[in-house]
Amino acid sequence: MTDSAAPLAERMRPTSLDNYIGQKHIVGEGAILRNAIESNLLPSIILWGPPGVGKTTLANIIAHQLKRPFFALSAINSGVKDIREVIEKAKDNNLFAQKNPILFIDEIHRFSKSQQDSLLGAVEKGTITLIGATTENPSFEVISALLSRCQVYVLKHLDKDDLIAMLDLAIKTDVVLKTKTINILEYEALLRLSGGDGRKLLNVFELVVNSIGGNTVEITNEKVTRIVQQNIAIYDKAGENHYDIISAFIKSIRGSDPNAAVYWLARMLEGGEDPLFIARRLVILASEDIGNANPTALVIATNCFQAINVIGMPEGRIVLSQAVTYMAASAKSNAAYMAINYAQEAVRANGDLPVPLHLRNAPTKLMKDIGYGKEYQYAHDYTSNFAKQEYLPESIKGTKFYDPGNNARENELRAYLKKLWSEKYGY
């Protein structure tokens, strides 16, 4: 029986794949992870995705559906000793012919190298099936030896339809809400505040319903906004503020405000944020938001990341402050970011277009005889080290993916490209 005193998000936690909302790309009918679960051939896996998209829920569903012993640890308050105790219990289970136990580790990215090392033997021998959950890129946060023994599945933010379906299901089936008449007249504020996080959506929704009170509840954008603003401490009780602050930090640098940027940096550091998490965001931002407007930004961001690795904290805060204020004060351009987006769209739209013959490698006589490499013009043999020829596949020739931004550095690049490729940059 569902505990009516539990939070709505806990009361609505699904217990089977059939009532699990979202992530159809991995657990929908015929999807790869669903097939592995239904065939009882589940490997050790890492579930990577933002908060509130169902990582913990999915781990519980898998254990329930496979009818296996289930152990759970949180990387925040577990150590090597806890891991070894669970592994010993798993070995005992196997001795008594019980099914291969599942060990779920929430926030596995917070485990140190030694803690992750302690899992290796049990995963490799099949003593346990590991399910790790992380909000961080496992390529950076999970040691390669462990990562190579796991399948990584990427969970996505819930979309609008998923979130509305979650609310409608709660209204119809929740032990408390179904006793009320609830009409959602406007969804926008609820969806905006959720940020694609199902847990946050249900927390906000429960807060609004309880605040309005009575057996008949009408929900509007104005009511949601007013109630959440009045109860901001309750709204942030689960720690979602962490993601709002990193968002404010990035947007302050992008918006060229060094004062706000260093303030949000200080908020994160005072709150105990991992400085390497911040430094990685700076490396990404250097290319995404500054790019060729100031290529030195990427050098500084990368060196900042390396410096934090070497010197750690508290001195690392000074290096972070230098990088943050420099990048905030720098010229901005997202042209490189947009260029790769456009190019990837073209690849997806056109498939694997053939490489033009004159650009192909010709290591054998046969390849040379059929035209591989023929008519290729070696740029260094020409004036200014440039030979005008087409480098794109025939069906998309002449396409411009990179459009330099409007700043001093990229205006220089634009002028140079216009001189070389007048038909692409001649405006």
% the chain with pLDDT above 70: 91
Q: Residues of 79-91 as b/e, b for ≥16 C-beta within 10 angstroms?
A: eeeebeebbeebe
Q: What is the mean pLDDT of residues 329-339?
A: 92
Q: What is the mean pLDDT of residues 96-124?
A: 83
The model's pLDDT over 23-79, given as tens digits with 9 standing for 90+, comes to 999 998 889 999 999 888 889 999 998 888 889 999 999 988 888 888 888 887 777
426 against 13, higher pLDDT: 13
Residue-averaged pLDDT of the chain: 85
Q: What is the mean pLDDT of residues 372-396?
A: 79
Pairing of strands 151-154, 129-134: unpaired
pLDDT of residue 235: 44
CA pair distance 7, 207, nearest whole angstrom: 10
- The answer to whether 104 touches 70, Cβ cutoff 8 Å, is yes
Task: Measure CA 185 to chain center.
Answer: 32
30: left (phi over 0), alpha (psi -120 to 50) or beta: left
Name the band, by pLDDT with cuts 50, 70 and 90, for residue 400. Answer: confident
426 pLDDT above the threshold of 70: no
Q: What is the mean pLDDT of residues 185-207?
A: 89
Q: Which two tokens stand for residue 226?
A: 């007013």
360 pLDDT above the threshold of 80: no
CA pair distance 76, 109, nearest whole angstrom: 10
- In order of their start, the domains of the chain are 23-154 (3.40.50.300), 160-235 (1.10.8), 241-329 (1.20.272.10), 353-425 (1.10.3710)
21 pLDDT above the threshold of 70: yes
pLDDT of residue 231: 66
Dihedral sign, CA of 212, 217, 222, 228? positive
Weakest-pLDDT range from 72-81, 95-104, 128-137, 411-420: 95-104
- The answer to whether 408 touches 331, Cβ cutoff 8 Å, is yes
- The answer to whether 119 touches 130, Cβ cutoff 8 Å, is yes
Half-sphere exposure of 22 (CA within 13 A, CB side): 26
% the chain with pLDDT above 90: 35
Neighbour-count burial of 360, counting CB atoms closer than 10 A to its CB (0-12 exposed, 13-18 middle, 19+ buried): middle
- What is the helix (H) or strand (E) element at residue 80, kind and residue range? helix 80-95
- The answer to whether 183 touches 219, Cβ cutoff 8 Å, is yes
Which residues are registered as beta bridge partners of 48? 134, 154
CA pair distance 87, 126, nearest whole angstrom: 11
CA pair distance 288, 284, nearest whole angstrom: 6
CA distances from 396 to 46, 350, 351 (A): 38, 9, 11
pLDDT of residue 295: 94
pLDDT of residue 1: 46
CA distances from 253 to 225, 295, 306 (A): 27, 16, 20
Task: Measure CA 109 to chain center.
Answer: 13
The model's pLDDT over 131-178, given as tens digits with 9 standing for 90+, comes to 999 988 888 788 888 999 999 999 988 889 999 999 999 999 998 898
382 pLDDT above the threshold of 60: yes
96 pLDDT above the threshold of 60: no
The model's pLDDT over 217-258, given as tens digits with 9 standing for 90+, comes to 999 999 998 888 776 544 444 445 667 788 889 999 999 999
262 against 369, higher pLDDT: 262
